[in-house]
């Protein structure tokens, strides 16, 4: 069977797994392929090429990719189809994927996307000739930042800008330094040009991305200087950033967040664990006391800040008492929200090589459940404290449950839902909403006339 062609352009369907950096990389890939004449389709059935941009950070995402590959096997038995695995799994599992998954034609790691168009063209040509050619590009680079490529964005209020790539921290549980390589920052002028372009396309919010976003450094630019420069771009109303590491919060950065009205009052501050022995085993480079001192410093300077976090339960050799230290810390800090994970051993990491994954699955699950319960109660209390206030909300679109309601985000990143009846709002507007009630995950309220006075963001 011949490949389906539209004016000789091949149709590509791409699915993205994992973090925002992967979403951003998918936009880069779209741009690279479009400029070489490929078309994109939402319809998997109509695609000549199916790409999966993968994540290797936790087992769950990894298993989902294997599930999808099994589905594609069936399609590939029936017709020509080129299958590509991109991103972190391609990088980390190159031998395994190339050998044990014969349906994968192309494997491209996060630093090699520029080679993707040629590798796809080769694989397509081989298939048309009735043969198969595997294309593999998984070299890591010390320099690649894709600085000259303008990602092809999907519409939306928010746009991501990757300002740095890679990570040099080598937290012992984490696969990122192996899949995404060494830390490197982009030239700030390219970043600012990208922000200006986004503003001209109507994006009101920019989220600066990096595996270690606050370690950004380019000549005499640090992250504090960059975030202010982006916030000053005309048309950009809000700037967010993710994910920072607690080790890189100089006073200038806290002042930038505190002092600039367009820098959102929300910091995602990954904790991972609240016990010093576990933090040391994880290679996190801070102690419980230092982390708490940072939280105090942040809250002292920015009283209305919302803090969120990531936590791993059941890391190698974690005892019940050590887990209780994490639990107590989470209780004491009172996060607005937390992402709570079971430790999953990742191939090639320091922990996989050095420490046995010895906390039983049931114990990990129990610890996750206890923390989730605590966090839900805290999130509800924090959200309820917003009732009675008027918050400024950036309108993102229809609420998930009903197109009669708007959904947007408060400055502190909490979702806000309100009725469209009588609303004058449009997507991308900043509107005042008087909060009337709250749930664990959202605030609900009424739209106020524009110009109404706004109360502080968080509790």
Chain residues that interact with ligand 5AD, rule: CB under 6 A: 57-58, 173-174, 270, 272, 310, 312, 341, 343-344, 346
Indicate which of ligand 5AD, ligand SF4, none lies near residue 310 (CB less than 5 to 8 Å, by partner kind).
Answer: ligand 5AD
Q: Which distant-in-sequence residues (6+ apart) come within 8 Å of 367 by Cβ?
A: 313, 314, 323
CA distance linking residue 201 with residue 159, whole number of Å: 10
Tokens of 418: 């309100």
How far is the C-alpha of 63 from the C-alpha of 59, rounded, in Å? 6
Give 196 or 280: the residue with its C-beta nearer to ligand SF4: 280
Write down the least CB distance from residue 290 to ligand SF4, Å.
Answer: 16
Q: What are phi and psi of 141, to 5 degrees?
A: -125, 150
Specify the pairing of strand 221-222 against strand 217-218: antiparallel
Nearer to ligand 5AD, 68 or 268 (CB): 268
Neighbours of 96 (CB within 10 A): 11
Q: Which is nearer to ligand SF4, 116 or 174 (CB)?
A: 174
Distance (Å, whole) CA 257 – CA 242: 13
Residue 260 tokens, joined: 């600039």
Residue 444: alpha-carbon gap to chain centroid: 26
For ligand 5AD, give the closer residue by CB, 139 or 168: 168
Q: Which partner, ligand 5AD, ligand SF4, none, binds residue 341 by CB below 5 to 8 Å per kind? A: ligand 5AD
The residue from 91, 211, 308, 392 that contacts ligand SF4 (CB under 6 A) is 211
Q: Which does 177 bind (CB under 5 to 8 A by kind): ligand SF4, ligand 5AD, none?
A: ligand SF4
Helix (H, G, I), strand (E, B) or coil at 176: helix
Rounded least distance, CB 344 to ligand 5AD, Å? 4
Burial of 126 from C-beta contacts in 10 A (0-12 / 13-18 / 19+): middle
Residues β-bridged to residue 390:
434
Q: Which is nearer to ligand 5AD, 243 or 383 (CB)?
A: 243
Number of residues that bind ligand SF4 (CB under 6 A): 10
Residue 170: CB minimum distance to ligand SF4, A: 6
Closer residue to ligand SF4, CB minimum distance, 16 or 212: 212
Residue 211 site contact among ligand SF4, ligand 5AD, none (CB < 5 to 8 Å, cut-off depends on kind):
ligand SF4
Q: Please select the residue that binds ligand SF4; options are 41, 212, 308, 326, rule is CB under 6 A.
A: 212
- Could you tell me if 278 and 318 are in contact, meaning their C-beta atoms sit under 8 angstroms apart? yes
> In the complex with ligand 5AD, which residue's Cβ is closer, 172 or 205?
172
Q: Minimum CB separation from ligand 5AD for residue 389, in Å?
A: 30
Nearest approach in angstroms of CB 168 to ligand SF4 is 8
| H helix or E strand, kind and range, residue 362 | helix 361-384
Smallest distance from ligand 5AD to CB 126, Å:
36
By CB under 6 A, residue 20 contacts ligand SF4: no
Please tell me what DSSP assigns to residue 456: P
Burial class (CB in 10 A: 0-12, 13-18, 19+), 358: exposed
Mask for 147-186, x = binds ligand SF4 (CB under 6 A): --------------------x-xxx--x-xx---------
Which of 176, 186, 18, 183 has its CA nearest to residue 91? 176
Give me the least distance between CB of 286 and ligand SF4, in Å please. Answer: 11
Q: Is 19 in the site for ligand SF4 (CB under 6 A)?
A: no
Shortest Å distance, C-beta 312 to ligand SF4: 9
What minimum distance in Å lies between the beta carbon of 347 and ligand 5AD? 10
Q: Which is nearer to ligand 5AD, 103 or 269 (CB)?
A: 269
Q: What is the β-pairing status of strands 49-54 and 39-40?
A: unpaired
Task: Please tell me whether residue 135 binds ligand SF4 under the rule CB under 6 A.
Answer: no
- Comparison of 306 and 410: residue with beta carbon closer to ligand 5AD: 306
Query: Of all helices (H) and strands (E), which one includes residue 188?
Result: helix 188-200
Contact 165, 404 (CB under 8 A): no
- How much of the chain is helix, strand and coil, in % rounded to 5? 35, 25, 40
> Which partner in ligand SF4, ligand 5AD, none is near 54 (CB below 5 to 8 A by kind)?
none
Half-sphere exposure of 127 (CA within 13 A, CB side): 25
CB of 76 to ligand SF4, least distance (A): 34
Is residue 143 within 8 A of residue 174, CB to CB? The reply is no
Q: In terms of CB distance, is 26 or 272 closer to ligand 5AD?
A: 272
**Interaction of residue 209 with ligand SF4, rule CB under 6 A:** no
d(CA 293, CA 137): 44
Q: Which residues of the chain form contacts with ligand SF4 (CB under 6 A)?
A: 167, 169-171, 174, 176-177, 211-212, 245
């Amino acid at each position: 069977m011949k490949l389906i062609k539209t004016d000789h352009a091949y149709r590509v369907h791409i699915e993205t797994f994992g973090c925002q950096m992967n979403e951003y990389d998918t936009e880069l890939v779209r741009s690279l392929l479009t400029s070489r004449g490929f078309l994109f389709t939402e319809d998997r059935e109509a695609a000549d090429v199916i790409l999966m941009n993968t994540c290797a950070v936790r087992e769950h995402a990894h298993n989902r990719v294997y599930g999808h590959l099994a589905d594609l096997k069936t399609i590939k038995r029936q017709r020509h189809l080129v299958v590509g695995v991109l991103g972190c799994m391609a990088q980390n599992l190159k031998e395994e994927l190339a050998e044990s998954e014969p349906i994968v034609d192309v494997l491209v790691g996060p630093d090699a996307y520029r080679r993707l168009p040629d590798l796809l063209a080769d694989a397509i040509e081989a298939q048309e000739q009735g043969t198969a050619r595997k294309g593999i590009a998984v070299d890591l680079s010390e320099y690649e930042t894709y600085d000259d490529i303008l990602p092809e964005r999907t519409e939306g209020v928010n746009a991501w800008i990757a300002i740095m790539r890679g990570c040099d921290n080598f937290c012992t549980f984490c696969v990122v330094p192996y899949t995404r390589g060494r830390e490197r920052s982009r030239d700030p002028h390219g970043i600012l040009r990208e922000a200006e372009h986004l503003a001209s396309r109507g994006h009101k919010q920019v989220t600066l991305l990096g595996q270690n976003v606050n370690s950004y450094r380019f000549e005499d630019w640090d992250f504090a200087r960059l975030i202010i420069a982006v916030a000053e771009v005309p048309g950009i109303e809000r700037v967010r950033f993710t994910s920072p590491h607690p080790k890189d919060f100089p006073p200038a950065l806290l002042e930038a967040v505190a002092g600039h009205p367009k820098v959102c009052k929300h910091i995602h501050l990954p904790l991972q664990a609240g016990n010093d022995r576990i933090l040391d085993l994880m290679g996190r480079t801070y102690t419980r006391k230092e982390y708490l001192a940072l939280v105090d410093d942040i809250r002292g300077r920015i009283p209305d800040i919302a803090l969120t976090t990531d936590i791993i339960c059941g890391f190698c050799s974690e005892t019940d008492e050590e887990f209780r230290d994490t639990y107590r810390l989470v209780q004491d800090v009172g996060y607005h929200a937390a992402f709570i994970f079971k430790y999953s051993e990742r191939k090639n990491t320091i922990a996989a090589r050095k420490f046995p994954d010895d906390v039983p699955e049931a114990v990990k699950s129990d610890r996750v459940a206890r923390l989730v319960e605590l966090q839900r109660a805290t999130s509800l209390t924090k959200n309820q404290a917003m009732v009675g206030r008027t918050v400024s909300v950036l309108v993102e679109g229809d609420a998930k449950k009903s197109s009669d309601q708007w959904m947007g985000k408060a400055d502190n990143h909490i979702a806000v839902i309100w009725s469209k009846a009588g609303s004058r709002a449009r997507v991308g507007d900043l509107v005042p909403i008087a909060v009337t009630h709250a749930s664990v995950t959202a605030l609900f309220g009424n739209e106020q006339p524009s110009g109404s006075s706004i109360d502080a963001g968080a509790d």
